Structure 1
């Protein structure tokens, strides 16, 4: 009897990272204090502990955003909570939301539940997923309420440079009612020559720039439930009031861990990138060795490769159906991936290399057996 293959998942959005020691020690200290004093845990203020808000503001100032103040920072129970709270505050039913794609599939449901009407701006793999000022201007209308970006981008790993940001914001400045929201949760996972720039580093002439981030991707705190946002003060206060009315503050031990991680952000992110780099090179090499592999510029950010497998799709089927069929074949071979059709890119698959090296080695061999089987 054949033993079923143990599945290797390259589909998860969470990395194979140990929790940083500084974060563990900080959380333990918060718990130990309550234990030794026989007191309950403190309950944090709705917007987060002041020392964490200030540390985050200081972090953004160090990244080139000198005007960011602690009052603009709100600590949330994960980045998704931050996103939904912001969207719920700035959107009214039917508001036009423009999102370049491919982009994180979770945005679709968040925008829908917040009442927005999502409109996509497809970007080309052949063009390196560049968003040009001309394309952006043509897609925006006076009725567009929000432009939704991620930098680095999930799933493509595309990083918008300082020059690209400057050119895009020269366009958005002509739309005073437009909010610009940048999801920067992967900002520390970068393999380019320059750090990932933050939207907050540019002037905000209409008070409409918002950044959402978190601690699970770049700072190895998956499962700790901590996110954050930075917004103009009035919006930050409105979001805080919404969160106070609908939930509870992030527990103090998690905020203590987040504070320690923030204060050691560079060294933690650099260690994660060093851990990821051999896997990244192995996966890129394996993909390049597949038959008919296109010449692809390696993604600069995140721990994903958005691989073009369109040449392996079954002919005669609709693209989305053929893409789903390919993903099923990979699953049957023991490799879970994310179907690019989720982002409107049928035939592409998102592959995470934030896994154990041994698991990645098994996965690339199985992928090869499916898309490029050995000839007898």
Structure 2
């Protein structure tokens, strides 16, 4: 039986035509002239940095300038460079969970000590100001939030951000990092707010994003970050010393996608909607399904499968066993334990409809047997 993966973090999206055309023009020019490709500055092409700053301004972050924007070889490279600059050995990092599993290793490799603050599905993963204040200490160097959240799809509103930042301003040593790579995949009534649109009197807010999710440029290796000027310059110096700039054709593709971001995002959401509804309905029809709130962002559903875990087995081990049984039945998912929530599974619906339907048939068959 051919396995069907619902575990991938990348969607099955066609590359936007405007991005293909922009990259192709650069390659064709090199072919015709016989000259080498241009090499980008370490911080990225000025026109791409300007376009990104302009888009953040359009989203309400009116103070952002191009010099704060750094183009990176994917969002993960940007995160690693940023954390390497921000964290000192032993620094305390607070991560509300569930959250992207990559943060755990990135913080470890950059010298930080990760502390998690589990949030509950029962109240839609709400992080209240009171909960945040209780979790912060004078030793906390960095707070990491994802908006929209991977894996839950939870979107934090501007009002929620404002309430949380009213707490963080009482901790002058604290930096706040918002991972906004899924910001264009949104099914809510209002667009996903950016942290950069909120007041930052201490100049300690940072955003990391990329082009592989919301702008359908998976495989092109382009990310970006926006930081206060001094930190942005430090990150650029680190990238210059340790790597190479993103190739110009990929940056030109990203520039074209940035200039057409709204229409690309709208097209992806329209493409995803039927599968989203299909998966939500199928999960709701499973035996013992709890009442859930449909996530507003990303192309994942973070399903509560705790009722299918083997009784008497430690929860992390039982979670891994269930994911292994699903894989043996031909459906690959992400174990929620890797995101801080054992017993949950992350499933992507950014796949072909036929594959999703077949995966759901296999899923129902296995889970019905487990339930009985």
TM more than 0.5: yes
Cα separation, 2, equivalents of 1:261 and 1:299? 25
2:129 aligns with one of 121, 130, 133 = 133
Q: For the structure 1 residues 75 and 95, does the alpha-carbon distance in structure 2 shift closer, same or farther, using more than 3 Å as the test?
A: same
SS in 2 for 1:188: coil
Would you say 1:322 and 2:315 are equivalent positions? no
Aligned to 2:235: 239
Seen in structure 2, the aligned counterparts of structure 1 residues 266 and 375 have a Cα distance that, compared at 3 Å, is: closer
Match of 1:348? 344
Matched, 1:253 2:249: yes
Query: 2:342 & 2:94 partners in 1: Cα distance?
Result: 21
Q: Deviations over 1:112-151 (max 9, x none)?
A: 0100000001101111100000000111111110001100
Cα deviation, residue 175, structure 1: 1.0
**Residues 19, 253 of structure 2: 8 Å contact kept:** yes
The equivalent position to 2:216 in structure 1, one of 207, 216, 220, is 220
Aligned-CA RMSD value: 1.1
- Taking the aligned partners of 1:331 and 1:114, their CA distance within structure 2 comes to 33
**Pairing 1:1-376 to 2, within 5 Å after superposition:** 5-373=1-369
Deviation by residue 1:244-283 (Cα, 9 ceiling, x = unmatched): 0000000000000000000000000100000000000000
Give the Å deviation of 1:35: 1.0
Question: Taking structure 2 as the reference length, what is the TM-score of the superposition?
Answer: 0.99
How far does residue 374 in structure 1 lie from its aligned partner after superposition? 10
Per-residue CA deviations over 1:40-99 (Å, capped at 9, x if unaligned) read 000000000000000000000000000000000000000000101110001000000001
Aligned residues: 372
- After TM superposition, the runs of 4+ consecutive aligned structure 1 residues lying more than 6 A away are none
The offset of 1:346, in angstroms, is 1.2
Residue 344 of structure 1 and its aligned partner are, at CA, apart by: 2.3
Question: CA distance change for structure 1 residues 358 and 86 in 2, over 3 Å: closer, same or farther?
Answer: same
Paired with 2:76 and 2:19, the residues of 1 have a C-alpha distance of 21
For 1:345 and 1:122, the matched residues in 2 are separated by: 8
SS of the equivalent of 1:126 reads helix
Distance 1:370 1:344 in 2: 24
Task: Give, in angstroms, the shift of residue 375 of structure 1.
Answer: 11
Name structure 2 gaps, 5 residues minimum.
none
Classify the secondary structure of the residue corresponding to 2:184: coil
